[in-house]
Structure 1
Amino acid sequence: MAGKLAHAGSFVVDDIQVKGLQRISAGTVYNYLPVSVGETFTDEKQASAIRSLFNTGFFKDITLERDGNTLIVTVVERPSVAKIVIEGNKDIKKEDLTEALKKIGLAEGKVYNKQVLDKVEQEMRRQYFSHGKYGLKIKTEVTDLTRNRVGIRIEISEGRVAKIKQINIVGNKTFASDALRKEFELSTTNFLSFYSKDDQYSKQKLSADLEKLRSYYLDRGYINFSIESTQVDITADKKEIYITINVKEGEVYTLEKVKLSGELIVPPEDLIKLVRVGPGEIFSRKNATETSKAISDRLGDEGYTFANVNMVPEINEQSKTVAMTFFVDPGKRVYVRRINVKGNTKTRDEVIRREARQMESSWAASSKIERTKTRLDRLGYFEEVGVETPPVTGVADQIDVNYTVKEKASGNLQAGIGYSQVQGIIFNANVSQDNIFGTGKRLDFAFNNSSILTRYNLGFTDPYYTLDGVSLGYNLGYTSRNAYAANLAAYNTTITNAGVNFGIPLNEFDRVGFDLELKRTEIENTAYSSDTILKFLGFTKYTSGQIRSKSFTSLSTSAGWTHDTLDRATFAHSGGQQRISALATIPGSDLEYYKVGYKHQHYFPLSNDFTFRLLGEVAHGGGYGSTDGLPFFENYFAGGTGDVRGFMQNTLGVIDATTLNSNAYTNRPIGGATKLIGKAELFFPIPFLSDVKSVRIGSFVDAGTLSPGLSTGDLRKYFRYSVGLSGEWLSPFGALAVSVAQPLNSESGDRTQAFQFTFGSGF
């Protein structure tokens, strides 16, 4: 295609007219023309004008004409894409294919260009080949529509997925091929391939596996290891793939010496502690890399955010040794200009900023920046917390710290649902607001109106009563419980209580708390109360219908220490939590007793998605002064979702079978003064579910015992354990926990329950 002029020769342009435009604006044409009104138009500018307009991709024909001193530009626009229809795609979502086509310039509303359409097949083949589908067939059809538009139809026949038949490693002498293949993500077909798709060939996955193979050898001293070649062959029917990897191992090298050089900044003895390689050891690239990172992180805590720690190995081929030097280049100390927070539409800025451990105008410390992110995660107000540290434009030694949060509903409706043969369906609820009005303060209101339990409790906590993080809380409650209906011995309690509590931070991870509580407890027998309960109330014998109650008023004080390094408030992935607690009633109270306890749990990250948790708990109580032993209604209880799953709630431990009335023999649990609990649980994501942040499942082993005292024989006698599967979901309506458990050593009289769930319990 070429333009032409009605009259040869150059002329001064008095006016420019554009004809044939439908969608493109005249201004767009003027912008690309190399001539303006008042300028001289020549043959050279004619060629340049046609070339520039064609390069826009908007036109399929262009003509230049002269009418006097007026330049007339006549164009024929390319049609626009009105609609793209993709059919036959199953393995790849239409949205993903549409996005891929958009990147190469084919999308609804854009100008249609046949050259771009020719790239469609190539791009789609790339997409499907990455999914292992090499039998792909693509057919495209372009239909002319009204108003200079076209419709594009793409028919896809995906074919079957080509499976990896063999992965052969040739040249390896020291390590077996099976051991090396275990490092790969790619694999031949196995019983989990339907989920992991590890038997589908991908060039990107193969490249990653080759790097893993290289790292495997370099971490074991094979410095000269190399991958000589890689062949990927597909059968004629495009159903099976054979991969062959040719390697050259080389020899093992050991470290001759290790030294630090450069500008160390911090005391050398501090950096030497971070070195994870030493003379005489087999060279390991992994350990050397970890050393570089550890030194770099240490310098980052001193404000040298952009420090470089380079490994400089000197290889002696004759002695097969390596002299390793870690060269430290700290760069400039970097300061924080501003700390910015985005995404908090409800939570007040001050609530977030008071968690910051990195301060503005001070040097940037990597650990403080990351610790601030962890503290925000642990608040429980946000679904996600992200942090970025962009450098300040035009300044070499300043950065901004930008925290981005995604808020979640901080109000929570918690509920528990169960079933009892005696009481039927049981329901209770708790309404709480962790971040009331965005202030970070917590308000709780719990209520229960079942036939088993009537409970009302109002609580309020200000976590920052002082600027130093001292918390202050109040609670007021009323509880009336039918213990018999809750799987316990037969008695009724009515408790009215009021208390105040303080929490004092000792450092970043430790906190102590103090509570003062005034409590009035009324105990009442029933027709089925045991000898233990009747004697406590002052009965010498029981007469049918005779009910007696007794009230006790006590003032108790308690103290606790908590060491908490968990990375998140819910669904923790790493870190641990320890708590020591002690409670005692004030001398002169109607009941004089004490309780002490210790609980420790720790999360071990096995990978990004797999977490292993260990939990242990021990507690003991007793009486002093005029009180003989721990009052039975203050006993510890076990069984159910909170400790040993697979056994009914509160049914483990001591059975109170004594009675003054033989017709009331019930064999009901009465709790114990000593409690021991142990748990081991492996958490992992649900297959086929991408939202691993709010849902997870686990396999567990639970163990526990309750006894009247500290007797080793009693602890063994009441010891029970179980195994099973658990599921946890942070739903929009509250936390849901379910478990299916199998008791392993249940005995006659134990009350087991395979399936259990709670709605609203914390994890």
Structure 2
Amino acid sequence: MLGWSVSALASSNGFVVQDIELEGLQRIAAGTVLTYLPVSVGDQLSDEQAPDIIRALFRTGFFSDVTLRRRGDVLVVAVEERPAINDIRISGNRDIKTDQLMDALRQVGMSRGRVFNRTVLERMENELLQQYFARGKYNVQVDVDVQPLPRNRVDVVIEIAEGRVARIQQVRVVGNEAYSERELIRRFDSGVPRWYALFSRRDHYSKQRLAGDLETLRTRYLDSGFINFNVDSTQVTLTPDRRDIYITINIDEGEQYRVSEVNLAGHLIVDPEELQGLLAIAPGDTFSRSLITDSASRITRRLGDEGYAFANVNPIPQLDEDNREVALTFFVDPGQRVYVRRINFTGNSRTRDEVFRREMRQMEGGWYSTSNVDRSRVRLQRLSYVEDVNIQTRRVPGTDDQVDLDITVSERLSGSFMIGAGYSQSQGVLFNTSLSQDNFFGTGNRVSLALNNSRVSTLYSLSFTNPYHTLDGISRGFNVFYRETDAFRADISRYSSNRLGANVTYGIPLTEYNTFRITPGYERVEILTSDNTPDEIFRYLSDNGEQYDLYTLNTSFIHDTRNRTVFAERGNVQRISLEVSMPGSDLEYYKADYRNQLFIPLRPGLTFALSGELAYGAAYGDSSDLPFFEKFFAGGTRSVRGYRDLSLGPRDSRDDPFGGNFRVLGGAELIFPPPFMDAAPNVRMSLFLDAGQVFDTYDDFDTQDIRASVGAGMTWLSPVGALTFSLAQALNDKPEDRLQSFQFSIGATF
């Protein structure tokens, strides 16, 4: 309602405003209104100016009605304020959190304390509906009630009946000839769930997910030579009850093209023959967008290794539509060569800068190298006290040949004090107390003090490791320990042992991926027997005594290219080790071991792993045999699942596992994240094939004796330690074997 009284005007020229009075204000301050008024005391006011004043006040959104009157030389402005929103209450929402809905309402101007405008109600309701439509809930109902309150306030009450998600019943692709419809849609994230996917959300419609599927479809054709492929239309049909969805995708495949020639052009600062060797596509190949992109990335990385951090490689295709061929030209623009001025670390509140800088392979003052920067990131991520690493390359202002590396480090807690308990099928109840610090006072040194106890063994240990004892990266560590073992409770040959020892370890990096370690040490071993101890052990003790002073030397060569030390996704780790009791020890023996693990990424989240081990030990000098307490065992969660821990191999005279001098292990695993959890970085599942056996000596090796099993497993890095579970089926067990289909270890490992 607009009002303006002119009957009291003194003349056609209006009047001079001597004062301004405001009526109807409740919450809004008078000064706020006067700020928006386009007239002030002393101004000449005419009838023609009234609409401008009223429009100015309405534009504020504060008022539902404005009236102007004149009383003498006083301008009277009467307003009716819009109510303020006292509270917004939402109920019935389960799929979308209240905070998310509140954010959506704020975007349309509805929030606590804001002025309530009924014209916004429809926008508000539509916004809420869109939030649910995006999640596939098309039969959602939203009821809005506005409840008046004293002092010109209102409560907005929103009741939501979400209904259920509309499910995809069918996905059709029309116009395909080169590939079958089944082959095209099997890689879609949208569609009918596969029969074995019990917790799948594949049939939950999402506009964003469908857009991703269309891009997957486009990529499939562009990687197969169909340059002119196009998605003509996409129809998403909803049934009248809004419960089922049918999707139809109409495509035009076009013709398939092959590559006629591949050329390099531009400023080739690297030998063209070397760049040609980096190309993943060649004349005669089917046109592939992915291979072209990969080729450009390889050249860019190679130029980056020469210091050209901002090189640009642009592939240009030239089409010959008559012959259905494509001539490719990669235009190379290396840009300006740059060197690294400074490396800046942020986020390291607990760790000293020097601890991170010693892991860097990209040096300050050196030419920028993509490979060195990437390797530096991997080395930082492999530190146990680092959770995440982000490296940004930033140009130095005012220069064209300098960059700074800004490295943001997310640290994880590197120390722990744990008092707890767990359970292992092989060792029973585990009690443990440990104090460890992987990053002692921010130095990167590791200190550990542990007291662990189970029905099989008791361990006391103190260790210290400095990973950079020298500037060249040679590590040094000390370890002192005392271990009591009751082998009878481990279901192997019946004896007990007390072992007290100390050692020092040096790790010498030979190359970026190769390390040599040497560990001299001393150990005193005492053997205790009982009436149930087998004859084999009594004979050994009769020949060699019951107490031994051992001077040991353990050497190993490690080749490690894994991208992570925990839950690796790619890379290879090989370890060759030799443990020898030195001449002068009470027992003289050696143990050689070779282990190999290979991780092959199949696609994001899916890794294929192969592993194998060969181990052999024997006595030398005056000793009669490899000590029984140093023999090899197999079976259980760490070797051949499905068979009891340590149960495979030779038996003693009492039919208990005795161990052997030669061990063979192998396995294959398909590793993947849990399908029923959206994000679980600390959990992995696997399908596995395990095989292995222990023999008296390598002369006794017989492939017919190898035991194998298949099954499924899961590992969870929980706050209390690693939890491992496996369900396995033995493939070729014999009557004398001890089977255990379900195996687990919780809380601690020994």
TM over 0.5: yes
One-letter amino acid of the structure 1 residue matched with residue 524 of structure 2: R
Distance (Å, rounded) in 1 between the aligned partners of 2:421 and 2:517: 28
Deviations 1:684-703 (A, max 9, x none): 22344334112222222222
Q: Which runs of structure 2 are paired with 1:34-45 in the superposition (5 Å)?
A: none
Matched-pair contact (CA < 8 Å) for 2:560–2:574: yes
| Distance verdict in 2 for CA 1:121–1:302, change over 3 Å | farther
Deviations 1:165-224 (A, max 9, x none): 332222222221211222322213543676332223333222222222222122111122
Which one of the candidate residues 719, 722, 743 is aligned to 2:709? 722
Query: How big is the shift at 1:707?
Result: 1.0
Which one of the candidate residues 413, 423, 445 is aligned to 1:408? 413
Query: How big is the shift at 1:350?
Result: 3.0
Residue 174 of structure 1 aligns to a residue whose secondary structure is coil
Distance (Å, rounded) in 2 between the aligned partners of 1:339 and 1:27: 54
Matched-pair contact (CA < 8 Å) for 2:389–2:407: no
Residue 701 of structure 2 aligns to a residue whose secondary structure is helix
Which one of the candidate residues 734, 737, 741 is aligned to 2:728? 741
Matched-pair contact (CA < 8 Å) for 1:186–1:199: yes
One-letter amino acid of the structure 1 residue matched with residue 737 of structure 2: D
Matched-pair contact (CA < 8 Å) for 1:465–1:472: yes
Deviations 1:467-494 (A, max 9, x none): 2221110011122222222222122222
Matched-pair contact (CA < 8 Å) for 1:334–1:399: no
Q: Which runs of structure 2 are paired with 1:48-87 in the superposition (5 Å)?
A: 50-62=54-66, 75-87=79-91
Distance (Å, rounded) in 2 between the aligned partners of 1:138 and 1:177: 39
Distance (Å, rounded) in 1 between the aligned partners of 2:188 and 2:516: 48
Matched-pair contact (CA < 8 Å) for 1:673–1:708: yes
Distance (Å, rounded) in 1 between the aligned partners of 2:79 and 2:411: 51
Aligned to 2:403: 398
Aligned to 2:305: 301
Distance (Å, rounded) in 2 between the aligned partners of 1:188 and 1:674: 51
| Distance verdict in 2 for CA 1:303–1:23, change over 3 Å | farther
Which one of the candidate residues 609, 616, 621 is aligned to 1:613? 609
One-letter amino acid of the structure 2 residue matched with residue 418 of structure 1: S
Residue 538 of structure 1 aligns to a residue whose secondary structure is helix
Distance (Å, rounded) in 2 between the aligned partners of 1:478 and 1:45: 97
Distance (Å, rounded) in 2 between the aligned partners of 1:637 and 1:589: 24
Q: Which runs of structure 2 are paired with 1:412-561 in the superposition (5 Å)?
A: 413=418, 417-418=423-424, 425=429, 427-428=431-432, 430-450=434-454, 452-538=456-542, 550-561=546-557
Matched-pair contact (CA < 8 Å) for 1:522–1:549: no
Query: How big is the shift at 1:732?
Result: 1.9
Residue 656 of structure 1 aligns to a residue whose secondary structure is coil
Segment of structure 1 superposing worse, 715-724 or 219-228: 715-724
Q: Which runs of structure 2 are paired with 1:381-396 in the superposition (5 Å)?
A: 381-389=385-393
Distance (Å, rounded) in 1 between the aligned partners of 2:603 and 2:32: 54
Aligned to 1:226: 230
Aligned to 1:543: none
| Distance verdict in 2 for CA 1:647–1:218, change over 3 Å | same
Distance (Å, rounded) in 2 between the aligned partners of 1:495 and 1:65: 103
| Distance verdict in 2 for CA 1:17–1:368, change over 3 Å | farther
| Distance verdict in 2 for CA 1:470–1:32, change over 3 Å | farther
Matched-pair contact (CA < 8 Å) for 2:636–2:646: yes
Residue 560 of structure 1 aligns to a residue whose secondary structure is strand
Which one of the candidate residues 657, 680, 686 is aligned to 2:674? 686
Gaps of 5+ in 2: none
Aligned to 1:602: 598
Deviations 1:38-94 (A, max 9, x none): 988888987666545544434434556788998776654432222222233333333
Query: How big is the shift at 1:395?
Result: 6.1
| Distance verdict in 2 for CA 1:431–1:742, change over 3 Å | farther
Aligned to 1:212: 216
Matched-pair contact (CA < 8 Å) for 1:344–1:407: no
Matched-pair contact (CA < 8 Å) for 1:556–1:583: yes
Which one of the candidate residues 102, 105, 110 is aligned to 2:114? 110
Distance (Å, rounded) in 1 between the aligned partners of 2:405 and 2:24: 53
Segment of structure 1 superposing worse, 674-683 or 341-350: 341-350
Determine if the alignment matches structure 1 residue 649 to structure 2 residue 653.
no
Deviations 1:259-318 (A, max 9, x none): 111123333233222101111111111111111122222233334333322121010111
Distance (Å, rounded) in 1 between the aligned partners of 2:441 and 2:146: 58
Segment of structure 1 superposing worse, 132-141 or 309-318: 132-141
Matched-pair contact (CA < 8 Å) for 1:392–1:400: no
Residue 606 of structure 1 aligns to a residue whose secondary structure is strand
Matched-pair contact (CA < 8 Å) for 2:729–2:741: yes
| Distance verdict in 2 for CA 1:17–1:508, change over 3 Å | farther
Query: How big is the shift at 1:393?
Result: 6.2
Deviations 1:577-598 (A, max 9, x none): 2111112222232222111111
Matched-pair contact (CA < 8 Å) for 2:317–2:329: yes
Matched-pair contact (CA < 8 Å) for 1:653–1:718: no
Matched-pair contact (CA < 8 Å) for 1:730–1:736: yes
Q: Which runs of structure 2 are paired with 1:143-222 in the superposition (5 Å)?
A: 143-188=147-192, 190-191=194-195, 195-222=199-226
Gaps of 5+ in 1: 540-547, 658-665
Which one of the candidate residues 559, 565, 569 is aligned to 1:563? 559
Distance (Å, rounded) in 1 between the aligned partners of 2:693 and 2:349: 48
Residue 196 of structure 1 aligns to a residue whose secondary structure is coil
Distance (Å, rounded) in 2 between the aligned partners of 1:377 and 1:351: 13
Which one of the candidate residues 619, 634, 654 is aligned to 1:623? 619
Which one of the candidate residues 658, 674, 680 is aligned to 1:670? 658
Determine if the alignment matches structure 1 residue 700 to structure 2 residue 700.
no
Distance (Å, rounded) in 2 between the aligned partners of 1:243 and 1:643: 48
Segment of structure 1 superposing worse, 454-463 or 88-97: 88-97
Query: How big is the shift at 1:322?
Result: 0.7
Matched-pair contact (CA < 8 Å) for 1:530–1:656: yes
Distance (Å, rounded) in 1 between the aligned partners of 2:660 and 2:43: 102
**Cα RMSD for the two superposed structures:** 3.2
Determine if the alignment matches structure 1 residue 341 to structure 2 residue 345.
yes
Segment of structure 1 superposing worse, 688-697 or 7-16: 7-16
Matched-pair contact (CA < 8 Å) for 1:341–1:405: no
Matched-pair contact (CA < 8 Å) for 2:421–2:429: no
Residue 212 of structure 1 aligns to a residue whose secondary structure is helix
Aligned to 1:542: none
Segment of structure 1 superposing worse, 288-297 or 354-363: 354-363
Deviations 1:419-454 (A, max 9, x none): 57xx97454555432222332211122324445323
Aligned to 1:88: 92
Query: How big is the shift at 1:601?
Result: 1.3
Query: How big is the shift at 1:326?
Result: 0.9
Distance (Å, rounded) in 1 between the aligned partners of 2:559 and 2:49: 79
Q: TM-score normalised to the size of structure 2?
A: 0.90
Distance (Å, rounded) in 2 between the aligned partners of 1:507 and 1:28: 72
Aligned to 1:142: 146
Q: TM-score normalised to the size of structure 1?
A: 0.89
Query: Number of paired residues?
Result: 744
Distance (Å, rounded) in 1 between the aligned partners of 2:716 and 2:286: 46
Matched-pair contact (CA < 8 Å) for 1:706–1:715: no
One-letter amino acid of the structure 1 residue matched with residue 745 of structure 2: T
One-letter amino acid of the structure 2 residue matched with residue 301 of structure 1: D
Query: How big is the shift at 1:735?
Result: 2.1
Distance (Å, rounded) in 2 between the aligned partners of 1:67 and 1:605: 85
Segment of structure 1 superposing worse, 404-413 or 308-317: 404-413
One-letter amino acid of the structure 2 residue matched with residue 440 of structure 1: G
| Distance verdict in 2 for CA 1:148–1:474, change over 3 Å | same
Residue 165 of structure 2 aligns to a residue whose secondary structure is coil
Aligned to 1:572: 568
